[in-house]
Structure 1
Amino acid sequence: MKKLIIYSFVLASFLLISKRSSAQSYQTAVGLKFGGYENGISAKFFTTSDVAIEGILGFRSHGAVLTGLYEIHQEAFGVKELKFYYGAGAHIGSEGSGVYKRFNGDDYVYNNSHILLGADGVLGLEYLIPQSPIAVSLDLNPRVELATGPFFDIAPGLGIKYAF
């Protein structure tokens, strides 16, 4: 609960300090990402009108993970503010010892601290709320863990970003 309050405060600060965006698209966005494995902060930067690079610093109860994604965006269902996106990337991080629940519900026990390293994918929808700087995304994140696996999982993700 304490983390949720801190994340909400950070997001509210971005909204109050920055000016509002009236455009239908954006070049940069920062915000929060809530996922199946970790929750954290994210930043997205568009290199062209339809290609973006997203970085996510996610925190788990026993560690942290840095994920980088290359994403391609396209208009979805004829709605200018709604974008379909897909892409791929990689992650690296570390995790302490403990019992972890995988997304599929299985328990997995790690007796020692270890490194996380693997390949990631992303498939989702993002909606930029008209006349506001807020973008909301919902996606699936398939992940192949190579350092402690190999094993494959798919985790859902919810993102809330301030676009500018």
Structure 2
Amino acid sequence: MRKTLLLIISAFTLLFIANTAKAQDYNTAVGAKFGGYENGISVKHFTNESTALEGILGFRRGGVVITGLYEIHQPAFNTDNLKFYYGFGAHAGSVGAGKYKKLGGDEVFEDSKLLIGADGVLGLEYVIPNSPIGISLDLNPRVELAGPFFDLAPGLGIKYTF
């Protein structure tokens, strides 16, 4: 996992150096998402000026989770390059046996477990002026339907925009 993180950081550095002149808005972004449960790769594409689709391929101990989100973006605090976003989606994947932290206490899985659930998202995104780099901070409430349980997962995203 450390090698993957180092590779992602190196790629962002090279992309940042190669393309420092970038408009404040973008159509598509590719990046890394670090969350409360999974860390992974994300792709966001705007379907129009204010709505976007985001896909996340998240890796976690003993499993993989695919998440799809529909997001609505709006200007935040009258600040250039800062947007507030919210939306909903779903996830599916699996998790290996082990002890996992969640709201209300730890959960222990004796065997691998299927994960299927509904997701929400609420966050802020800032695109650094004159650069292709975007940074997001969000909260992802999720309801695990195969479990069932409810939890919140904070997320930090770093994206290359184009």
TM bracket (short chain): over 0.9
Structure 2 distance, partners of 1:10, 1:115, is 32
Which AA in structure 2 matches 1:54? E
Query: Equivalent residue for 1:163?
Result: 161
CA contact (8 A) 1:73 1:83 kept: yes
Which AA in structure 1 matches 2:13? A
Please list every run of 5 or more consecutive structure 2 residues that lacks an aligned counterpart in the other structure: none
Question: Residue 6 of structure 1 aligns to a residue in which SS?
Answer: helix
- Once the 2 structures are TM-superposed, how far is the Cα of residue 24 of structure 1 from its aligned partner? 1.4
Q: TM-score, normalised by structure 1?
A: 0.91
Write out per-residue CA displacement over residues 76-134 of structure 1, whole angstroms, 9 at most, x where no aligned residue: 011121000000000000111112222x3722111111210000000000001111111
- Once the 2 structures are TM-superposed, how far is the Cα of residue 14 of structure 1 from its aligned partner? 3.9
Query: Equivalent residue for 1:133?
Result: 132
CA contact (8 A) 1:21 1:163 kept: no
- Once the 2 structures are TM-superposed, how far is the Cα of residue 61 of structure 1 from its aligned partner? 1.3
Question: How many residue pairs were aligned?
Answer: 161
CA contact (8 A) 2:74 2:84 kept: yes
Identity of aligned residues (%): 63
Query: Equivalent residue for 2:43?
Result: 43
Structure 2 distance, partners of 1:118, 1:52, is 20
Change (3 A) 1:21 1:46: farther
> For the aligned residues, what is the CA RMSD?
1.6
Please list every run of 5 or more consecutive structure 1 residues that lacks an aligned counterpart in the other structure: none
- Once the 2 structures are TM-superposed, how far is the Cα of residue 10 of structure 1 from its aligned partner? 3.6
- Once the 2 structures are TM-superposed, how far is the Cα of residue 63 of structure 1 from its aligned partner? 0.6
